[in-house]
């Protein structure tokens, strides 16, 4: 009985461990040589919404460009002409993502490290969907506009922050399903800081356009959590499981102590005296 009780307690304890440990790690720490014959390299990962990716890139030689792509939404993160990058990026939704690095010169050696932790930031319940800096130049077929995308659910509240250093720009939001009319439109923007609520489920295009001059733009888009970071049931589940382990253990120990001991061996009767 004692052996079965100890086995049962051990199984209950092991059942709690997956609930306590839920983070994952991307096994990437690689040195990447890039040149005119092999100018790019890509890494693909299936990731879960809310996962925070720590990105570290250090470069010897010519600077490199670094991007994150999704087959549905296109470019989600872009960094140009970098020699050192150290930042975090939060996965906006479940899906397959491409981490792409390319040389912007003739020869580069880049050391890239990616690691991940599950879950969203516990302090605010907010999730960073986009955090990018880019340059816009009027008249350039590549740099006079920019489209950044985010997949949202009806009722999602987002915090929008746009800061512009240089010429004013236009900022607008479109639904990818209907580009004929904007959902929000701001002209001659040098700074924007406001909240916006998605009107329906879908993919949204955050659009930037410059008409004259040059501008350095910083855009941050953050999905706002519900009331103080939302309700996370995991701590309650863990506490309940620990309490169950303690109660079941105490019950089994008390039961084992109350079990009667083995009966004493029978006493042999003395043979009768001889006549």
Residue range(s) of every CATH 2.60.120.680 domain in the chain: 23-119, 121-229
Q: What is the pTM of this model?
A: 0.44
pLDDT at site 26:
65
> 41-55, 77-91, 122-136, 161-175 — which is least confidently predicted?
122-136
Q: What is the pLDDT of residues 259-269, one digit of tens each?
A: 665 566 666 56
pLDDT at site 113:
87
Q: What is the pLDDT of residues 226-238, one digit of tens each?
A: 543 344 455 566 6
Report, as an integer, the average pLDDT of 151-176. 93
pLDDT at site 101:
93
Return the CATH number of 23-119, one of 2.60.120.680, 3.40.920.10, 3.20.10.10, 3.40.50.720: 2.60.120.680
Q: How confident is the model at residue 22 (pLDDT cuts 50, 70, 90)?
A: very low
pLDDT at site 248:
73
Q: What is the pLDDT of residues 26-59, one digit of tens each?
A: 668 888 999 988 899 988 888 888 888 889 899 9
pLDDT at site 230:
41
Q: How confident is the model at residue 62 (pLDDT cuts 50, 70, 90)?
A: very high
The overall average pLDDT reported for the chain is: 79
Report, as an integer, the average pLDDT of 3-29. 50
| pLDDT exceeds cutoff 80 at 91 | yes
Report, as an integer, the average pLDDT of 65-88. 85
pLDDT at site 78:
87
Q: What is the pLDDT of residues 102-128, one digit of tens each?
A: 998 889 999 998 888 764 443 446 788
pLDDT at site 197:
94
Superfamily (CATH H level) for 121-229? GOLD domain (2.60.120.680)
pLDDT at site 126:
73
Show the 3-state SS of the chain: CHHHHHHHHHHHHHHHHHHHCCCCCCCEEEEEEEECCCCEEEEEEEECCCCEEEEEEEEEECCEEEEEEECCCEEEEEEEEECEEEEEEECCCCEEEEEEEEECCCEEEEEEEEEEECCCCCCCCCEEEEEEEEEEECCCCCCCEEEEEEEECCCCEEEEEEEEEECCEEEEEEECCECCCCCEEEEEECEEEEEEECCCCEEEEEEEECCCCEEEEEEEEEECCCCCCCCCCHHHHHHHHHHHHHHHHHHHHHHHHHCCCCCCCCCCCCCCCCC
């Amino acid at each position: 009985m004692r052996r079965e009780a100890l086995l049962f307690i051990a199984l209950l304890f092991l059942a709690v461990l997956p609930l306590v440990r839920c983070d994952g790690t991307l096994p990437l720490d690689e040195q990447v040589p890039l040149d005119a014959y092999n100018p790019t390299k890509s890494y693909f990962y299936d990731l879960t919404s809310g996962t925070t990716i720590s990105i570290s890139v250090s470069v010897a030689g010519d600077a490199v460009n670094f991007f994150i792509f999704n087959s549905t939404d296109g470019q989600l993160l872009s960094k140009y002409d970098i020699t050192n990058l150290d930042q975090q990026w939060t996965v906006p939704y479940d899906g397959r993502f491409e981490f792409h690095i390319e040389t912007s010169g003739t020869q580069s050696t880049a050391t890239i490290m990616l690691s991940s932790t599950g879950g969203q930031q516990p302090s605010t319940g907010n999730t960073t969907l986009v955090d990018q800096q880019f340059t816009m130049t009027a008249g350039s077929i590549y740099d006079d506009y920019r489209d950044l995308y985010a997949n949202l659910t009806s009722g999602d509240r987002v915090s929008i922050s746009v800061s512009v250093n240089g010429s004013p720009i236009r900022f607008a939001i479109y639904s990818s399903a209907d580009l004929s009319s904007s959902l929000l439109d701001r002209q001659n923007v040098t700074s924007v800081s406001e909240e916006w609520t998605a009107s329906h489920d879908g993919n949204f295009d955050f659009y930037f356009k410059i008409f004259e001059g040059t501008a350095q733009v910083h855009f941050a888009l953050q999905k706002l959590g519900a009331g103080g970071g939302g309700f996370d049931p995991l701590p309650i589940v863990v506490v309940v499981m620990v309490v169950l382990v303690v109660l079941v253990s105490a019950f089994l120990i008390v039961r084992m102590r109350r079990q009667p001991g083995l009966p004493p061996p029978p006493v042999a009767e003395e043979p009768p005296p001889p006549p």
